[in-house]
Chains A and B, each alone.
Chain A
Amino acid sequence: MMQTPTFTWRGVVDGAAKGIVIAPALIAFGLAVGVLAFSKGLTALEIALMSAWVYAGTAQMASLQVWAEPVPLLVLVLTVLAMNARYVLLSAALRPPFGALPAWQIYPGLAIFGDGNWALTMRDVNERRPDAGFLLGSGLVMYLPWIGATVAGHLFGQVLGDPRRLGLDFMLAALFATMAVGFFRVARSVAPLIVAIVVAVVVQKLIDGPWYLFAGALAGSLTGALRVRPT
């Protein structure tokens, strides 16, 4: 049975300490987004504003790719929705551990979560009493470097080397692979993983854009729902 959730400042600090490992990958990705924003004619202040308010690496990358003048509003909004559709699922999964908290303790963390710190938080709630401070703290150490990195990419992107050379673009994939080990032990089932991989790979080949993430996560998790474990 899941324990009563809490929000502690200790959790914020703890989340920040655990989340900092994601920052290098985020910075490498943010630099690339900043360079793209520069090439599309956005000002440094505009990309700073976008990073702070839209705050979604993959969605910003995709929307900047279709960015044009005049601004194609509808296409942009659909692109962001497609990219961030997976967040609806991830956000829903936070309800069982954190549903009992007052809104002010959980919504700030929800407003700035990303894939990496969400996964760290899901692992954290498996290990001890759910602490919404962890979600907020791990989110903050991603949020602030993200804004800085996209602006830096805009200002200095032309003179920086390729972050791929250092393998930094692989950081997030590596982090997810390490977390797969822990989640696999909790899930005790290979079916959701296999279905998610197959659906994601197939959908990516068939449909342009980022829908494969949402399709894979949805199909895989529903597979998990087919088998209800006795509690």
Chain B
Amino acid sequence: MSVRPEVFQAILLLGLASLACRLGGFFLMRYVSITPRVDAWLRAIPIALIGAILGPIAVNGGPPEWLGLAVAIGVMHFSANEFAATIGACATVAVVRAAMA
């Protein structure tokens, strides 16, 4: 159990890169005035990120993932209970995977 110097050096640099990304966007926006257009851009980021994450999962996935997404969206839409929606979706994925295995 030890930390080798070259590994320590690598981790130090990687952490700085990580931190620069996390703090950088917020810091830089200090110098950008929030016009209605910039505001519209920033407001669209959440739904765009969600699309960028879920799109490939849906395209590369199969029936377990498709049903899982449908359960998550459906339960959330009708019950607004995100805990039930996420657990239900994971359970669906597990069951369908088991059924297909």
Q: Contacts of B54 on A, CB cut-off 8 Å?
A: 173, 176-177, 180, 197
Q: A219 CA to B78 CA in the complex, in Å? A: 30
| Contacting residues, chain B, for A217 (C-beta < 8 A) | 45, 48-49, 52
> By CB atoms of chain A within 10 A, which of B12, B21, B97 has the most?
B21
Decide yes or no whether B15 CB sits under 8 A from chain A: yes
Given contacts A110-B26, A178-B73, contact A223 B82 (CB under 8 A): no
Residues on B with beta carbons closer than 8 Å to the beta carbon of A207: none
Interface residue tally for chain B (C-beta within 8 Å): 73
Query: Are B26 and A94 within 8 A (Cβ)?
Result: yes
A56 engages B18 (CB within 8 Å): yes
Chain B residue, CB-CB nearest to A95: B29
* Chain A, residue nearest B24 (CB): A88
The 8 Å CB contact of B90, one of A81, A84, A94, A168, is A168
Instruction: Please classify the interface of chain B as helix (H, G, I), strand (E, B), loop, or mixed, using the class held by over half of its residues.
Output: helix
In the complex the two chains form, is B14's CB within 8 Å of A87's CB?
no
Is the Cβ of A167 less than 8 Å from the Cβ of B37?
no
Residue on A nearest B78 in the bound complex, by CB: A181
Question: Closest CB of chain A to B75's CB: distance in Å?
Answer: 8
**Cβ < 8 Å to B, chain A residues 88-143:** 88-96, 98-99, 106-107, 110-113, 115, 119, 122-123
Chain A residues near B (Cβ < 8 Å): 21, 42-46, 49-50, 53-56, 59, 63, 70-71, 73, 76-77, 80-81, 84-96, 98-99, 106-107, 110-113, 115, 119, 122-123, 164-168, 170-171, 173-184, 186-187, 189, 192-201, 204, 212-225, 227-229, 231
Could you list which residues of chain B lie within 8 angstroms of chain A, going by C-beta atoms?
1-4, 6-15, 17-19, 21-30, 34, 36-57, 59, 64-65, 68-69, 71-73, 75-77, 82-83, 85-86, 89-94, 97-98
